[in-house]
Amino acid sequence: MTSPCGSEFPAECMLDPDTKYQCGEPGDRPLPIAKFPPGGCNETVDPFKPDPCKCFKNRTICGSLIVKNGCTRIPITATSIYECVDTKEPTEINQCLSPKVCTQTSEGATCSETPCTCGSEGAKICGAAADPTCGLDPKSSYICTGGGSVQNNTCTTACDFTEGECFDKCECPAGGLVCGSTFPGCGLNDQSLYTCVKGRKPVLLRECKPGQCISGSAPPITFAYPGPESGEYQDTCGPNPCYCDPGEQLNYRSHLN
């Protein structure tokens, strides 16, 4: 059962954008359940869409990476170190004062006067997370060896800042049903619906009519923290977008092998 805002439906459905509706059985008309002040409905938390200002792992992280992940809801100081506890908002614990800068490896964040020198042997780092003056390839991962960074892998798609490791953005970071357009450059049909299982490639479920593959809440796929972790896809492929989600979406696990 889902609870979308009226604004999530096409204008021709003539639903109130500031009202939250309940979708029950497949094919039901949306049922109004709550009225919000103007613009207030979309401000409610979507359980399928991760909050970029909340932690997804327990570790320290540079504020600059939280900002890069798209956090704008709370003030974040890019030059500070934050303590992250899973599902909580990050807490500032230290500010890196010039000439020190915040550096990020798989072991966490530190303030360093020499950001291009690794502190811990064997720690991993994404080139995109390093200080630009270090000259590291932003699409590669590195291992700290002898105080320096040695290239480990060339990331074909993305690198997770918090782990310092590559991941394949053509693999599903979450389960659910998803339109092919969510995975650009992966050889999928934009107007087809695919079944996603976390860690696997999308599998074609069925083709949609032109313009009928409708994106719901989609987990982010970026170079930034929190990398590949997120909620569930909930895209649809139906003839009438004014109706509630079709049964295929609500029961996508029945399509899994």
Q: For a pLDDT cut of 90, what percent of the chain falls above it?
A: 10
Q: Residue 242 — very low, low, confident or very high, per pLDDT cuts 50/70/90? A: low
Average pLDDT over residues 238-244: 55
Mean per-residue pLDDT of the chain: 76
pLDDT at 11: 81
pTM exceeding the 0.85 threshold for the entire prediction: no
d(CA 57, CA 202): 25
Among 113, 82, 84, CA closest to 98? 113
For 212, other C-beta atoms within 10 Å of its C-beta total: 16
pLDDT tops 80 at residue 115: yes
**b or e along 47-71 (b: 16 or more beta carbons within 10 Å of the residue's beta carbon)?**
ebbbebbbbbeebbbbbbbbbbbeb
Which of 18-22, 48-52, 63-67, 91-95 has the highest mean predicted lDDT (pLDDT)? Answer: 91-95
pLDDT for position 59? 85
205-222, pLDDT tens digit by residue?
A: 877 777 778 776 545 433
Residue 82: its pLDDT value, please? 94
pLDDT at 223 over 50: no
pLDDT one-digit tens code per residue, 129-186? 888 888 898 888 999 888 788 998 888 777 888 788 887 778 887 777 888 888 877 8
What is the model's pLDDT at position 79?
A: 92
pLDDT bracket for residue 225 (50, 70, 90)? very low
Residue written as token pair 């989609």: 218
Kindly give the pairing relationship between strand 233-234 and strand 176-179: parallel
pLDDT of residue 24: 60
Domain residue spans of the chain: 1-44, 59-167, 170-257
- Whether a cis peptide bond, with omega within 30° of 0, leads into 99 is yes
**pLDDT value at position 44?**
47
Mean pLDDT of 14-43: 73
